[in-house]
Structure 1
Amino acid sequence: MADEQPDGVPGLDVPIGMFEDIEDLKAKVEKLTALIKTLTGVEEGESGEAPADEEETAAGEAAAEDEEWQYPPFILLLDLPGYDDELRALIEWVEGVLVPGYLAEPSAEARWCHLWWEHPVAIARLHAVWLAWQELTDPASCGYTGPSVWHSDHLDPALRELRASTGPFGGCTKGEHQIEHRMPSLVPSAWTQGED
């Protein structure tokens, strides 16, 4: 009998058209594979691996790219004039976005210094917040939850530290500005770049 199945094989009612669909898919895959080989220049029997000289060239190019900054570096590691350019851009963002949008009137519990750029600790924290803002407000790179992550993970903790009575603006009041109270006598060696 033609309808009998061997023992242990379940009976399958597969429509004939499905086999034709599978054969069509196989033919399309073969055509696409041939097209890919043609477009990439891979001949039959080639492994598709780049020759050694191409690998060396690619490695050299990758090393050259590593030497250049791909992302903005931490502001305290920059030399002049890069530091000045980054600080100018940071000031524009803080004064144009952060201050009008997020800072209420300063008080003893929530301090703010109108000369914040004269406080290195404030520059460091605000620059870190700004870098995160640049990344996390772009839906293409972080989706639609990025701004929420930016607020909870970056902005809120930074403002708590900056505006606390023990923060960098601790000695500053509405009418008085002090920077010496938070200035360290020596800059940690990890923050300075060695002489070449």
Structure 2
Amino acid sequence: MADEEGVPDFEVPVGLFQDLEDLKAEVARLSAQVKSLTEGVGADAGEALADDDADAGDEAEEGAAEDEWQFPPFILLLDPPQYDDELRALIEWVEGVLVPGYLGEPTSDSRWCHLWFEHSVAVARLHALWLAWQELTDPATCGYTGPSVWHRDHLDPCMRELRPSSGPFAGCTKGEHQIDHRMPGTVPSAWRQGT
């Protein structure tokens, strides 16, 4: 008969609990080994965790998961040199993927500026488009429909905003570059970090 309601009355061999704890410790050790190998840390393949406590292993895994995942930075919130690094990576993607793969010859109805990175509105929109592309072209995070969603929900609306004759490239014509923006006097407080 069971001591507590809802708990079945059967005997569990003592060795089963020990085996379970051994398995938890092994999973924690393997997780640490995988982490060290993927991060390039010099942990030996046979190195085990010093602490056999299963709770400590769980806490280490949770801490590692928190350390690994960070929200992508929005480029307009970054200060140099992080902004410069992010802009360089964005330029590589725009010039290497977006322009040759998706943009046709600019026309009066469908504009493009070869100095797009000097237009802050274009930088902001293209950065958001790039972040979405990074997530939605990885089957591990979005499945196989991600690229379709990226085209429908991100690429097409972004191009509709950037390329019309009244868009941010309105003053730019083939071979000429013009930035004619009305800049706000103050930066909105939501754009400032740590103030």
Q: TM-score, normalised by structure 1?
A: 0.67
- What amino acid is aligned across from residue 40 of structure 1 in structure 2? K
Report deviation, 1:37.
Answer: 4.1
Matches within 5 A, 1:87-102: 87-102=87-102
- What amino acid is aligned across from residue 23 of structure 2 in structure 1? L
CA RMSD of aligned residues (A): 3.4
Report deviation, 1:172.
Answer: 1.3
Bigger-Rg structure (1/2): 1
Report deviation, 1:86.
Answer: 0.2
Mark the CA change 1:160 to 1:146 in structure 2 (over 3 Å): closer, same or farther. same
Report deviation, 1:120.
Answer: 0.6
Report deviation, 1:186.
Answer: 3.1
- What amino acid is aligned across from residue 99 of structure 1 in structure 2? V
Kept in 2, the 8 Å contact 1:168–1:182? The answer is no
SS in structure 2 of the partner of residue 85 of structure 1? helix
Question: Partner residue of 2:180?
Answer: 180
Kept in 2, the 8 Å contact 1:171–1:181? The answer is no
Question: Partner residue of 2:24?
Answer: 40
Output the CA distance in 2 between the equivalents of 1:151 and 1:189. 32
Mark the CA change 1:102 to 1:32 in structure 2 (over 3 Å): closer, same or farther. farther
Output the CA distance in 1 between the equivalents of 2:14 and 2:143. 36
Q: Deviations over 1:53-88 (max 9, x none)?
A: x6xx949x85xx47x871321111111100000000
Mark the CA change 1:37 to 1:69 in structure 2 (over 3 Å): closer, same or farther. closer
Kept in 1, the 8 Å contact 2:113–2:177? The answer is yes
Q: Deviations over 1:139-158 (max 9, x none)?
A: 12211111101100111100
Question: Partner residue of 2:84?
Answer: 84
The total of aligned residue pairs comes to 155
Output the CA distance in 2 between the equivalents of 1:129 and 1:31. 56
Mark the CA change 1:120 to 1:40 in structure 2 (over 3 Å): closer, same or farther. same
Q: Which structure 2 residue ranges, 5 or more long, are not aligned?
A: 1-11, 26-52
Q: Deviations over 1:85-138 (max 9, x none)?
A: 000000000001000110011111111111100011100000000001111111
Question: Partner residue of 2:152?
Answer: 152
Report deviation, 1:175.
Answer: 3.1
SS in structure 1 of the partner of residue 172 of structure 2? coil
Kept in 1, the 8 Å contact 2:171–2:180? The answer is no
Mark the CA change 1:86 to 1:168 in structure 2 (over 3 Å): closer, same or farther. same
Mark the CA change 1:32 to 1:154 in structure 2 (over 3 Å): closer, same or farther. farther
- What amino acid is aligned across from residue 97 of structure 1 in structure 2? V
Kept in 1, the 8 Å contact 2:24–2:54? The answer is no
Output the CA distance in 2 between the equivalents of 1:168 and 1:145. 31
Kept in 2, the 8 Å contact 1:171–1:178? The answer is yes
Question: Partner residue of 1:15?
Answer: none
Report deviation, 1:30.
Answer: 8.0
Matches within 5 A, 1:166-177: 166-177=166-177
Matches within 5 A, 1:124-135: 124-135=124-135
Q: Which structure 1 residue ranges, 5 or more long, are not aligned?
A: 1-28, 42-47
